[in-house]
Amino acid sequence: MACEVEEMATIRNFEGFQPVSLKQEGDDQPSETDQLSAEEGDPVKDPEPRQISRQPSVTESTLYPNPYHQPFVSRKYFATRPGATETAMEDLKGHIAKTSGETIQGFWLLTEIDHWNNEKERILLVTDKTLLICKYDFIMLSCVQLQRIPLSSVYRICLGKFVFPGMSLDKRQGEGLRIYWGSLEQQSLFSRWNPWSTEVPYATFTEHPMKHTSEKFLEICKLSGFTSKLVPAIQNAHKNSTGSGRGKGLMVLTEPILIETYTGLMSFIGNRNKLGYSLARGSIGF
């Protein structure tokens, strides 16, 4: 009992405990608590504005080689995998050396837009006599289809923005290049409205979506670079042509490029899912 009485007496002594501000002798500066209490308790006084120095915030960011494109997106395209474009170049160089022996003047990776507005990944090569349009499988690293167009047969090149009929439901923005080598009047109605036709007398191109992935792709995916090589090559081919071709020279025009599609359901599905590219598609494959 005596111990319990002593403990209760001790507790009563602590009930009157008051918090004490810890301040050393000679310290005349008020504490932060005192300053806040004084400011809150005297709202009438308007103290002089204090100069608050702020440290500039620094946000650390990882800069990839391409600041315009996220790397995980570019890795989905098999054309960007290490060695893919180099292998394609060597394959096509070997094929040209065996078949024609012509001199290659340039190599480009562009997107072809067919007459139904479908995007297709294509490799283009310009030699001294021929324009080659190659469908290349970057997954199996093999040439699937190769179209040869004699440069002497190309008579018109159009540069401009894409335009569509007023009632079209699937339109695209941007600019492109269209190359004509045949007569539009002689094109059959079946080939015009057949989405899989290969008898269309022109080809339309725009820049590949991986143009800004790296300096290498910026060079081979640039439409202006392709045009600067193609035009003089065609002009030289016309000068050296001895056949009974058009012989009218080359016209380079700046005008809108018409893509005559209306509903565009097939191109809407295909272009949104990038079906015309060699693309990694997760667990469902290509």
Pairing of strands 142-150, 156-163: unpaired
Please state, for a pLDDT cut of 70, what percent of the chain lies above it: 71
Helix (H, G, I), strand (E, B) or coil at 120: strand
Between CA 142 and CA 106 the distance in angstroms is 19
Task: Set out the domains of the chain in order of their start, with CATH numbers.
Answer: 70-273 (2.30.29.30)
The mean of the pLDDT values for the chain is 79
pLDDT value at residue 158: 97
26, pLDDT greater than 50: no
Long-range (24+ apart) CB contacts under 8 A made by 178-181 are: 178/202, 178/203, 178/204, 178/205, 178/257, 179/131, 179/149, 179/154, 179/203, 179/204, 179/205, 179/230, 180/154, 180/155, 180/156, 181/149, 181/150, 181/153, 181/154, 181/155
Q: For position 168, what pLDDT does the model report?
A: 82
Contacts of 147 (CB under 8 A, 6+ apart): 132, 133, 134, 198
Please tell me the least confidently modeled range out of 48-52, 91-95, 144-148, 253-257. 48-52
pLDDT at 259 over 90: yes
28 by DSSP, 3-state: which?
coil
Report pLDDT digits (tens) over 93-107.
999 999 998 999 999
Output the six-digit token pair for 214: 């790296």
Kindly state the percentage of the chain with pLDDT values over 90. Answer: 53
- Convert the pLDDT of each residue in 147-204 to its tens digit: 999 999 999 999 999 999 988 888 899 999 999 998 888 788 777 778 778 889 999 9
Alpha carbons 251 and 180: distance in angstroms, whole number: 10
Confidence of residue 79 (pLDDT cuts 50, 70, 90): very high
Q: Return the structure tokens found at 197.
A: 């036709």
Q: Between 12 and 211, name the one with better pLDDT.
A: 211
What integer pLDDT is reported at residue 13 of this predicted model? 47
pLDDT score recorded for residue 53: 45
Where is average pLDDT lowest: 51-65, 174-188, 249-263, 264-278? 51-65
> In this structure, what DSSP letter does residue 151 have?
G
What is the C-alpha to C-alpha distance for residues 122 and 113, in angstroms, rounded to an integer?
10
| Cα–Cα dist 21/26, whole Å | 14
Higher pLDDT, 197 or 33: 197
What is the reported pLDDT for 72?
66
CA angle (233 as vertex; 141, 258 as ends), nearest 5: 75
Q: Which range, 47-51, 52-56, 261-265, is most confident?
A: 261-265
* pLDDT, tens digit, 9 for 90 and up, residues 204-245: 999 999 999 899 999 999 999 999 999 999 999 999 887 655
